[in-house]
Structure 1
Amino acid sequence: MRDFLREEAQTTLTEPVDPRFELPALAVQDESQPTVFERVEAYPDVRAVANTLGSRELIGRALGVEAEDIVDRMGSAMDDPLAVEETADPAFEHVASEPTIDEYVPIPIFYDEHERQYFASSVVIAEDPETGVQNASFHRMMFESDNRLVMRLVERHLHDIYSRTEGGLDVAIVMGVHPAVELAAATSFAPEQNELALANRLLDGDLATAAVDGIEVPADAEIVMRATITDERAEEGPFVDLSRTWDRTRQQPVVTVENLYMRPDPYARIIVPGRTEHAHLMGIPQEPRIYRIVENTVPTVENVVLTPGGCSWLHGVVQLEKRSEGDPKNAGMAALAGHPSMKKVTVVDSDVDPADSDAVEWATATRMQPDEDITVIENAKGSSLDPSQDYDRGTLAKWIVDATVPGDRDRDDFAEVTVPGAEEIDLAEYQ
């Protein structure tokens, strides 16, 4: 993470900030570039950083590509992960056993009303006892007391490993790593694959690991907790999720932290729940999978974006070169199948940037007629994160919006007219 920060412009705040409300409020003032907090109240030896994944441009630079090439970069890395062979002495050191966690690490209170303390940047690494393959995945952690956390354990790969392990599952909880490692951990990868190998490919083989009691973790991590996911349950939540509304409470596993490791001058990695980084980590790893499924139906697909305004989960945009009138509808249906949580797909032409919400709205305004270009699919299964669904039936409606140029019309009539030379002008030369 530090290597990435050294290359990026950032907002640096030098006044002390309170992790209760003040730090997250400052973090969301400008999410387009990293925000570094040099002083955190009550933690004289800890800094904090937010927004390293705050924009698609930032993410592209973290992956070494332009923003429009993120899907290709992620997809090719998923096809060809690179096993981590480089080991290094860890940058972190042991600081406490059975720690009272919030005495060492700031745990923000992001939202009022329920005032829960949460780690939202926590990557959990565990080894499958049957295959020996490690899994890395994001799981939010609610601070309960002392060395106890309560973990939201969604029924995916880590849950499967945990369910096959008696007497608790040993894990490493890692925070403060390169953005490529975070993106890899957020990816729904095949169970036989190690997400750190995906991260290593995204970093062109430059990821080094260190062993912490038998679990390999990034050697340059800022904070590592060696812990056990126990069989004990406690109330977890409510939590502000992607929809920026309160999620419900659940009985979830208690995690006990046996050992805490930190760098001598650590950054506490802060991700504000429900905001842009949270959305990017949820949505961007899904885009290559959606792209491939759409490509099987409409080979001329060019890009797929899950939009921040749609929580990077519920709304998406498909960009394609339309060759027949049926292409947009087919592409929309394939996209909905590829990401069943999505409820709206807008299909646009090649000249419309799918990541630019204004451009997509412009295409919708100028190229779409509601009575002809909207397809509604009723009584479909959607996302549990959508508060507007019919919870009794567990269903909702989905829709496809064809915002492409009508096939029987002259494309020149729908082209955006631009001011000649406007993009080439450097205003500094006129000042």
Structure 2
Amino acid sequence: MGLRSFLEGTEPTVLTEPVDPRFELPALATRDETRPVVFDDVVGHPDVRAVANLVSTRSLIGSALGVEPSEIIDEVSSAMDDPSPVSRTEPAAFEHVADDPTIAEELPVPIYYDEHERQYFASTIVIAKDPDTGVHNLSFHRMMVQEDNRLVMRMVERHLHDIYTRSGEELDIAIVVGVHPAVEIAAATSFSPDMSELELANRLHGGELATTEIHGLQIPSEAEVVMFATITDELADEGPFVDLSRTWDKVRQQPVVEVNELWTRPDPLARVIVPGKREHAHLMGIPQEPRIYRIVENTVPTVRNVVLTPGGCSWLHGVVQLEPRADGDPKNAGMAALSAHPSMKKVTLVDPDVDPADPDAVEWATATRMQPHEDIVTIEGAKGSSLDPSQNYERGVTSKWIVDATMPRDRDREAFLEATVPGAEDVSLEEYQ
């Protein structure tokens, strides 16, 4: 089961008119981020379609994992505790297309923004095998097209960087584009180096993940596009790139990747993720939420949910839902959340009756249950995120704040409850048409 099986269970918008991958495709992809969109005709690529917005809402992510949106944290956390070894092997749905391909001719590589025109893959998942343990690592890495079969990859100092460093001067990898969203969530998750994201993906996929071994690497059998490549010891300029904050990131020296072989499915679906938009935010933020939840739970056991909000780049702002049992619980939970995710600079605490994923509900709680002089705590000179353009770059610090938007414990609770229309959640307009 792969991307296509998931897409069949949604109601995608299908665009049949020609779409240019330069600006036009990303513009259409972000026009309505509430549902998947399929591009049947991509200019310059008659044999390739494109697809976006597979994880653009929490409902879609919940559907991919087989749970309600409110249960995403529990599902990902349980999978991290008990990943499932991959036992299914199947013939690959993809086949060899070209050696040393000219990538931009073979695949649509969008240009998203016009100030610095760069062709980028933002949906590329790298599969590498640890040379010491044999464990397969899956991780997202953006790839800028340099020329012909050469890409420049942004590689932060995490597990893949460690594998690359220990492998010598070069590392053979697979670059995968277009897999089931459960695999994407696993690849976006910060997982223990001694455990495989393939096993995490299999658990999130209900044990349905099948792989194929090619060139010594285990590849999801239903992948749409696979590039077998080598991370070289050569460095080149990478960027600028519009990052999670929806602002331009700086240019860095990063490793050059040479693509040796291109494999695709017949009529492949090229997966597109628009940098800085909703899918990018979800893939960055949602895998962090279980870790924040666990650390907050050690401080305040009555925590109910944690959401890194898209409006806060799913990285810089968060909401913690809890049931306060004692004075000070919300502020303790807020301090724990900031410690759990040092990049976060604002955390809002809400009661169990407020949906932390609903920005209107959170703002309503802030408006009706909070007094700024009593319920806001600010922390100056704390280590923040490099993605925050407002931070003090010379010192690398920012200010943080905790907003306690829970009901005052010394007041009548009934005064703060939202009035509801009886039966509104149980009726549908269709029944009366």
What band does the TM-score fall into relative to the shorter chain? over 0.9
**One of 89, 92, 104 as aligned partner of 2:91:** 89
**One of 293, 317, 320 as aligned partner of 1:318:** 320
C-alpha distance in 1, partners of 2:222/2:135?
21
Q: State yes or no: 1:277 paired with 2:274.
A: no
**One of 50, 62, 65 as aligned partner of 2:64:** 62
Amino acid at match of 1:213: H
Amino acid at match of 1:17: V
Aligned position for 2:425? 423
How far 1:253 sits from its partner (Å)?
Answer: 0.3
How far 1:426 sits from its partner (Å)?
Answer: 1.6
- How many residue pairs get aligned? The number is 431
Are 1:151 and 1:236, in contact at CA under 8 Å, matched by a contact in 2? yes
Aligned counterparts, 1:148-163, within 5 A = 148-163=150-165
Aligned position for 2:222? 220
Residues 107-130 of structure 1: CA deviation (Å, up to 9, x unaligned)? 000000111000000000101111
Q: State yes or no: 1:339 paired with 2:341.
A: yes
**Post-superposition, which runs of at least 4 consecutive aligned residues in structure 1 deviate over 3 A?**
none
Aligned position for 2:122? 120
Tell me the SS of whatever aligns to 1:99. Answer: coil
Aligned position for 1:328? 330
Q: State yes or no: 1:293 paired with 2:295.
A: yes
C-alpha distance in 2, partners of 1:132/1:420?
58
C-alpha distance in 2, partners of 1:120/1:293?
30
C-alpha distance in 2, partners of 1:342/1:166?
35
Tell me the SS of whatever aligns to 1:74. Answer: helix
**One of 375, 379, 382 as aligned partner of 2:381:** 379
Q: State yes or no: 1:12 paired with 2:14.
A: yes
C-alpha distance in 2, partners of 1:328/1:299?
11
Identity rate of aligned residues, in percent? 71
Aligned position for 2:252? 250
C-alpha distance in 2, partners of 1:229/1:38?
32
* Structure 1: gaps of 5 or more residues: none
Residues 361-398 of structure 1: CA deviation (Å, up to 9, x unaligned)? 00000000000000111100010000000000000011
C-alpha distance in 2, partners of 1:321/1:166?
51
Aligned position for 2:240? 238
Are 1:212 and 1:226, in contact at CA under 8 Å, matched by a contact in 2? no
Tell me the SS of whatever aligns to 1:282. Answer: helix
Amino acid at match of 2:113: Y
Amino acid at match of 2:44: A
Aligned position for 1:408? 410
How far 1:163 sits from its partner (Å)?
Answer: 1.0
Are 1:149 and 1:255, in contact at CA under 8 Å, matched by a contact in 2? yes
Amino acid at match of 2:248: W
Tell me the SS of whatever aligns to 1:422. Answer: coil
Tell me the SS of whatever aligns to 1:424. Answer: coil
Residues 128-163 of structure 1: CA deviation (Å, up to 9, x unaligned)? 111111100000000000000000000111011111
* TM-score (normalizing by structure 1): 0.99
Are 1:27 and 1:51, in contact at CA under 8 Å, matched by a contact in 2? yes
Superposed CA RMSD: 0.6
